[in-house]
Each structure stands twice: as C-alpha cells, then as structure tokens.
Amino acid sequence: MALKDVFEQNPDRRYIMFGGKGGLGKTTFSAATAYWLAKRGFKVLVFSVDPQASLSDIFQKDIFGKGPVPIMENLWAQEIDADQHIKEYQGEIRKKILDMYGFDQVPEEIENYIQAASAEPAMEESAIFDAVVDIVVKGDYDYYIYDLVPLGHALYYLSMAKVYDEWINKITKLREEMREYEEMVSRVKRQKVTEQDQILNELTYIKERINASSRILTDKLKTAFFFVLVPEELIILDTQKAAELFAKFDVPLSGYVVNRMLPEGLAEQNIPDYLKHRITMQQKYLVDIREKFGNDVRGYVPEMERDVTGLAMIEKLARIMYGDF
C-alpha cells in the first residue's frame, strides 16, 4: 500500500507522526504531508517539540514559541518553546499553592524548590508533554502532524503517557484512601466535612488529560506512525529495534518511508567511483529493507537536488511522496 493510500483508506487517522533518527528527513516529510493535506482542503497543524526543530527553517518563517503560525491556506505550523512552558508551569504551581493553602505569597523554601526543580530535565519534559496534551486534546484541526524528536527521546515521550498514568493511578488511590480515613475520623469526632479535596481534584484532572492524550497516541483508528529511514546498515538496524520497542507501547505503526534514494541510472553514466560505490551500497541495503520490512514500506523518496526549504520545494517533495493533489 502506497503512502497516499494509507491516508485515503484510513480517513479517521488524523494524528500523524514521523519518527526516526535525527537528520533523516522527519521534519521535511512532516512539512510535505501537512502541505499535501492542506492543499486537499483539510485544516492542518504541523508541530514540533524538538528544541532543535527546523520547521522555521523549512517554512522560512520564524515560528518558534509563537503558537500556531499561519503558513498558507489551511496550514499552520508550531514549534513549542520549552523554556516558556516551564515559566508558565512555575506560575501555575505557585498559584495552586497560594489557592490551596491560603498563603499571601509562596514561602521562600517552596520558591527555592520550584526554582531548583526547573533545572531538572524532568521539568522540561513534563512541560513539553503538557504542551502536546494541550494541542491534541483541543481538536481545533482536521489533522495534527507531529514532527517527533529523534528516536530515543521520541520513545521516552511516547512512553511518558503510560508511565505518568501508572504513577498518577497510584497517587490517586493513596489520596482516596487518605480521604476515606479523614472522613471516618471526622464522623467519629462528629465534625462536618464539606470542603472539596483539592489535591484529589488536581490528580483527577491530570489523569483525565493523560488518558485523553494516551488514547490518541495509541488509537489504531485515529493515529498513524511512520518511520523514516535511509538505506544504510546502522539506520536499518536501529529502525528495526525502535519499531519493536514502539510496539511494546502500543504505538500504531503504519509503515516505513525510505529517504535519500540515489537514481539507479546514475551508475551507468560517467560518474566518480565514490558515487558508484554509494549506489551499489544502497542497492544492497534496499534488499535488506525489503526483507526486514516487506510490504510495510510505503514509499521511496529520492535525494533532492537541494535542501527542502520554502513552499516551492515543499510542494515538489509532496508531489513525489503523494502524487498530484
């Protein structure tokens, strides 16, 4: 089944992800797919959480940290600014502490903890994850094209929903048990318990958001995940391992797209030996790709004559990947 057929035969798959090692073409494929869908009349958001994202370079427009930026009719692009989200995160934590405990200001010890926690990688990842949840649960677009971070981090992000969900479940259960105990003690002392449990409410809110995001990311009817790879030995091995890991997290794999193909006909022309060797090597690894991934390979994309930047090149790549609009 060709890449275009995957979309046409599965119209409910509106959350599209391209993953793979860095520098293989994830972002350009994301941009070209978003362009193709927008041209077909769908309202599309292509977004990235990668701190080194290059959507700004590809669309030749400064979009970093600016929210959804219009690119053309039906198409918006967004690069998430993790630092900004960490600041907003800090503000929310301070507000909740003030509301919950009735302080006039956040105690110095707690403020110091908030500042110290912000330097932890987990804070950045939590902030980014929260931003992604915000984007996908709103439902403002027909299609969401998620330009994932490189493989290792992508696996981490995708697994976070599951890890968070299990953690929140345990904390919520513990909090519910504590609440039952508090109510029992109050009844024994004949005290009235009327105030809402704000901690339990907060945990329930977080859990609902995580479940909503997790359902989307692992929903085989709504989500399509494509691996991008090139015909090189180490990339093929890494992709195979990653696909096995992703399957453990129930990520619905919709196929593989092979990038940077050199034209076979070149080998018959008067070209440098270096290039001939590269073509021979690619042919060898293409056999390997067909053996390992078989009919799940959705397309082969040639090496482009120049960088894919600007709408004209994005359109050219989109036509190669999907044919005419």
Check pLDDT > 60 for residue 217: yes
Query: Which pLDDT belongs to residue 205?
Result: 75
Strands 143-147 and 44-48: parallel
pLDDT band for position 214 (cuts 50, 70, 90): low
Look over the chain and give the mean of its residue pLDDT values, rounded to a whole number. 83
pTM comes to 0.81
Of the candidates 300, 318, 298, the one whose C-alpha atom is nearest the C-alpha of residue 255 is 298
Contacts of 180 (CB under 8 A, 6+ apart): none
Q: Which two tokens stand for residue 40?
A: 């077909």
Higher-pLDDT residue of 293, 195:
293
Q: Given the structure tokens 């994830």, which residue do they identify?
A: 26
Check pLDDT > 60 for residue 251: yes
Check pLDDT > 80 for residue 207: no
Query: Which pLDDT belongs to residue 303?
Result: 93
Check pLDDT > 80 for residue 197: no
Check pLDDT > 70 for residue 33: yes
Cα distances (angstroms) measured from residue 304 to each of 72, 173, 292, 318: 23, 54, 25, 12
Greatest mean pLDDT range, 183-197, 226-240, 262-276: 226-240
Check pLDDT > 70 for residue 260: yes
Query: Which pLDDT belongs to residue 99?
Result: 77
CA distance 78 to 46: 6
Higher-pLDDT residue of 187, 49:
49
Task: Tell how far CA 31 is from the center of its chain.
Answer: 14
Burial class (CB in 10 A: 0-12, 13-18, 19+), 72: middle
